Structure 1
Amino acid sequence: MRGKTVALVATLVLSATAGVAAAGPQGSPHREPVRFATFNASLNRSSESELLADLSTGDDKQARAVAEVIQRSRPDVLLVNEFDYVEGGAAADAFRRNYLQVPQNGARPIHYPYAYVAPVNTGVQTGHDLDRDGRVGGPGDAHGFGMFPGQYGMLLLSRHPIDTERVRTFRTFLWKDMPDALLPDDTATPEQGDWYSEKALDTLRLSSKSHWDVPVEVGGRTVHVLAAHPTPPTFDGPEDRNGRRNHDEIRFWADYVTPGRGGYVYDDTGRRGGLAAGERFVIAGDYNADPLDGDSTDGAAHQLLDAPRVRDTRPASAGGAAAALLQGGANDSHRGDPWHDTADFGDEQPGNLRVDYVLPSRGMRVVRDGIFWPVPGTALDRLNSASDHHLVWVDVRP
């Protein structure tokens, strides 16, 4: 059996092509496909000022690797998850100036003239003992788990103009205001949905980070980038408070883009309603839910994948398939195809999973797609350590 595994991995190495590190579309952006991508780059730090300090030097090893992945993938529009929020966008500016616009190991620099950052819920205290540890305060009692406000934030980078006047954010939308929300139960009581007190539910927001609708102008067309990073469906107990929240954070976008289902939605300015029918969109982010494996609530990912206006192109990589074979362990019992894995969690539970998504709306022509996951043992294997997630991209014609 071991010999067969080695032989198959060797075959994957031989079959790996330049598509693993495919160059971005060239030529006029009005005629050529536009590459939308997401990358949980793990550019989070343990203190509030640490990321900005690291990005200000130009010699942070991890940031250089992340930048090289981006330079070799060359997205036109890129959502970066786990990028700590710094007010005013100073960290985003430093990353662009000191890393992306500097060649990394021979890769061509990449320039993003447009960027969007905004506050997120991580580390923002609720004033309630949400995790029931007997104390009020700390990362478990924040609207989103975080050691400080803005940890694990988001950054949107674009080669195309961002219509900042029309951005909608949904950071303050309350979880209880979602119809039929999967509020967690205290399993020691007969009541339903009673893990949180009424006072806590009057405060607790749905988004563990935020949900953003960011309009990007591409050749006279508007494409709404719908960005989010739902909480991992773990680190809780039988009440499944994180699993249920992950489910509903994913459901939020499914309702938002489905005509007739988003009427309850309100944004941070108080404007109600979902995305208008016929609008083009791309849903992007680390959604912490695999369609078949892992710890997420049943059907969580399929709320998006099966939504009527969403197209799942199922990006793949030989690197993900090879990694699952080499690591074995939990990966051997997975129902999902490892060619579609996007996160490398090793051989222990939950194993490697598909949790990062770029999902265009139906009606946009998909040209190609992929996952930047170099096959182990190949020249770019060193970049697999940049993050435990891998960059996912889809080329579309809006």
Structure 2
Amino acid sequence: MRIFVWIISALLATAATAQDLRVATYDPGLTRKGPGLLLRDIRRSDPQVLAAARVIAAAAPDVIVLTGLDWDGDGQALAAFAGVLEQAGHAMPHHFSRRPNSGMPTGLDLDGDGRAGGADDAQGFGQFSGQNGMAILSRLPLGVVIDHSAVLWRDLPGNLMPPLPPEAAEVQRLSSTAHWDVPVLTDAGRLHLLAWSATPPVFDGPEDRNGRRNHDEAAFWLHHLPPAPFVLAGNPNLDLADGEGRPQAMAALLEHAQDPQPKGAFQPEQAGANAGHRGDPALDTGAFDPAGPGNLRVDYLLPAKGLRITGSGVIWPAPGDPLAAAVEAASDHRLVWVDIDLGSLEAGQGDR
């Protein structure tokens, strides 16, 4: 306990000032293989759950987009995890979550295996409705959320959707998890979190269905940027320098947003797949199989260009750091944070 208190005290010393708003995104790995299992593990004080809470408490965000957290109909798991986070020293009393597309049945055989009802037949890959969903936790009140998750893939202008059977095209949603516009209500005005978690651009065939969908999930925001300060936030599941995927939509978003390029304090040895990477390893946010994709940058915070960034980082401590064990135990993703000057938020109200 003393070590944990020291961790929090040391890191809070570098937390956002009263003039800044700290925004974060993180996949804490809070997903399980069946409904209700996450809530069970939270109530049992599962070590992985506690580790995820420690990482978030150490970063001390004002608002965080959580990707990779199971949804349940009455929000018990999210509320229980917020309670664990409060016990870890960082209360975030304002919550938002909604049923994601992951695991939502379509009633169709989308993967062509002759059976309907499998994980690949859902609106987004999932073994049950709500698996691997999203949530928002905030110290500040949240406004009315615009949920774009029901938009059909075929209805996105210029979409790259491959030819699908008519019955599939009529129901197939664009979002593999969700697309949300979440207003954060600050004293300086509203900041819109444009949150999403995309399908990885792999695990398909030559038709590149997942690669096309991953691209279009990012391209969606090109048509839905609000006329107010925003931060694109979440897990686009795409590294702009390494790995597979189509980077054009993310590159186009950077014409409207800035990339603070948050960096971690430690980069593992660049062996295996990492040895062939072109991108700066300090920008990586995921520690994946070194024999496969290697470490990649897949989690992003991209503030609107008019906002002034005062700090940013990736919670990736070196071995031996007191926080390192919790980071490793929680997830193969790393938490990303950005500090935004509230003065620039106030000045940008009404301007894109």
Structure 2 matches for 1:1-398, cutoff 5 A?
23-27=14-18, 32-57=19-44, 59-97=45-83, 99-103=84-88, 109-163=89-143, 166-184=144-162, 194=163, 196-257=164-225, 275-276=226-227, 279-304=228-253, 306=254, 308-319=255-266, 321=267, 323-325=268-270, 328-385=271-328, 386-397=330-341, 398=345
How far is 1:300 from its partner? Answer: 4.5
How far is 1:21 from its partner? Answer: 7.7
How far is 1:20 from its partner? Answer: 7.7
How far is 1:134 from its partner? Answer: 2.0
> What is the one-letter code of the residue matched to 1:102?
Q
| Post-superposition CA distance 1:118-172 (Å, at most 9, x none) | 1111111112221122222210010000000000011101111101xx3100111
Give SS of 1:239's match. coil
Asked whether the 8 Å contact 1:131–1:141 carries over to 2, the reply is: yes
Asked whether the 8 Å contact 2:191–2:229 carries over to 1, the reply is: yes
How far is 1:234 from its partner? Answer: 1.1
| Post-superposition CA distance 1:225-244 (Å, at most 9, x none) | 11110111111111111111
How far is 1:19 from its partner? Answer: 9.3
How far is 1:35 from its partner? Answer: 0.3
Q: Distance in 2 between matches of 1:151 and 1:41?
A: 13
How far is 1:198 from its partner? Answer: 1.4
Change (3 A) 1:380 1:203: same
> What is the one-letter code of the residue matched to 1:287?
P
Q: Distance in 2 between matches of 1:371 and 1:288?
A: 16
Asked whether the 8 Å contact 2:11–2:58 carries over to 1, the reply is: no
Q: Distance in 1 between matches of 2:209 and 2:252?
A: 18
Name the residue aligned to 2:6.
none
How far is 1:56 from its partner? Answer: 2.1
Asked whether the 8 Å contact 1:291–1:299 carries over to 2, the reply is: no
Give SS of 1:301's match. helix
Name the residue aligned to 1:13.
none
How far is 1:209 from its partner? Answer: 0.8
> What is the one-letter code of the residue matched to 1:242?
N
Q: Distance in 2 between matches of 1:176 and 1:48?
A: 30
The alignment of Structure 1 onto Structure 2 pairs a total of residues equal to: 333
Q: Distance in 2 between matches of 1:111 and 1:20?
A: 16
Q: Distance in 1 between matches of 2:286 and 2:179?
A: 21
Asked whether the 8 Å contact 1:40–1:389 carries over to 2, the reply is: yes
Asked whether the 8 Å contact 1:23–1:74 carries over to 2, the reply is: no
How far is 1:26 from its partner? Answer: 4.3
Give SS of 2:29's match. strand
TM-score by length of 2: 0.91
Asked whether the 8 Å contact 2:82–2:93 carries over to 1, the reply is: no
Q: Distance in 2 between matches of 1:243 and 1:62?
A: 31
Asked whether the 8 Å contact 1:20–1:372 carries over to 2, the reply is: no
Change (3 A) 1:341 1:83: same
Asked whether the 8 Å contact 1:125–1:142 carries over to 2, the reply is: yes
Asked whether the 8 Å contact 2:232–2:302 carries over to 1, the reply is: yes
Asked whether the 8 Å contact 2:238–2:247 carries over to 1, the reply is: no
Q: Distance in 2 between matches of 1:100 and 1:254?
A: 34
Long gaps (5+) in structure 2: 1-8, 346-352
Asked whether the 8 Å contact 1:344–1:352 carries over to 2, the reply is: yes
Long gaps (5+) in structure 1: 1-17, 104-108, 185-193, 258-274
Asked whether the 8 Å contact 1:21–1:372 carries over to 2, the reply is: no
How far is 1:299 from its partner? Answer: 2.7
